[in-house]
A = this chain, B = another copy of it.
Amino acid sequence: MTIPLSDLLRHLGPVDLSAVDARSTPGFDGGKDDAKAALGALGPELADLQERLHAGGRAETTDRSVLLVLQGMDTAGKGGTISTVAGLVDPQGLALASFGKPTPEELEHDFLWRVERRLPTAGQIGIFDRSHYEDVLIGRVRQLAEPAEIERRYDAINDFERRFTDHGGVVVKCLLHIDRDVQAERLRARLEDPTKYWKYNPGDIDERAFWDDYQRAYEIAVERCSTEAAPWHIVPAGRKWYRNWAVATLLAETLRGLDLAWPPADFDPQAELARLEADT
């Protein structure tokens, strides 16, 4: 019997990220080619499941939606995961949102304001490239808010996610975990390839000075905000092929769990066929 990947990667309670091998491949026996083949094989099922979800949203027969939250250090591969995994399904059923430095307008509101308006609606798969967690990650490390405000946010996040899941949503939170060496290797690759310069920012190296603080901030976020309703998954992301397979698999497991049926007809198919014949 195979253990669901979500059971393997889910973390509830305290976590020590330094003990997680970024290049490990839990739940996957095989190498790069095997993982690519497994991902390809998952594609048609994922597309079918998503079309069912999308159909239910369009026909207003479901209130289900899925939110995939991707967090990770620079170069952990949030963008690459989205490109690969989201690329397996119909873009018409996706709601992608990327959260960068808050705008002046966003700063005038509570930190959840900009996130709430980008939540997927019924039938959609939403994918967040960074998220409300930034406000307890960089927010904590770079002290962008008072300590008491940072403290308040963990509970606010749990309440927020709970409201979402109480109304048909499912949250899949993935921490794409890399180590300092993997990041150095990937930054180097960006600096050695002119087609990748646009992905590089000199600030990325400045931020490396805070590596341990970021790891601690991630650990606290997982400890405080991994709930039964919206658990965190720690996805080793030192190998891109494992990361892509793992996130796609978590998404597939989630969609399978929704028992998505095709929407029934709200008309009489035989009567409509007769109308059509009379008209042709």
Residue of B nearest to A205 (CB): B275
Considering the complex, which residues of chain A in the window 235-280 have a beta carbon less than 8 Å from any beta carbon of chain B? Answer: 262-265, 267, 269, 272-273, 275-276, 279-280
Question: From residue A114, how far is it (CB to closest CB) to chain B in Å?
Answer: 17
- Measured in the bound complex, the distance between the Cα atoms of B129 and A195 in whole Å is 32
Q: A90-B83, A267-B200 are in contact. Are A276 and B195 (CB under 8 A)?
A: no
Bound-state Cα–Cα, A59 to B190, Å: 14
Q: Does A86 contact B (CB under 8 A)?
A: yes
Interface size class of A (residues with CB under 8 A): 35 or more
Restricting to A174-218, which residues have a CB under 8 Å from any CB of B?
A: 180-181, 184, 187-188, 191-192, 194-195, 197-200, 202, 205, 208-209
Does A40 interact with chain B (Cβ within 8 Å)? no
A62 CB, nearest partner CB in chain B, Å: 11
- Does A198 lie within 8 Å of B263, measured CB to CB? yes
> What DSSP secondary structure best describes chain A's contact surface?
helix
Is A94 close to B, CB under 8 A?
yes
Q: Decide yes or no: A197 and B263 within 8 Å by CB, A83-B91, A91-B96, A96-B91 being known contacts.
A: yes
**Chain B proximity of A100: nearest CB distance (Å):** 10
Check B94–A198 contact: CB distance below 8 A. no
A83 contacts across to B, CB distance below 8 A: 90-92
8 residue pairs from A and B, CB less than 8 Å apart? A55-B195, A58-B198, A82-B90, A91-B94, A184-B279, A187-B276, A200-B265, A202-B275
Known pairs A187-B276, A197-B265. 12 more at Cβ < 8 A? A58-B198, A79-B92, A86-B91, A91-B94, A92-B98, A180-B280, A181-B280, A188-B276, A197-B262, A197-B269, A200-B265, A209-B279
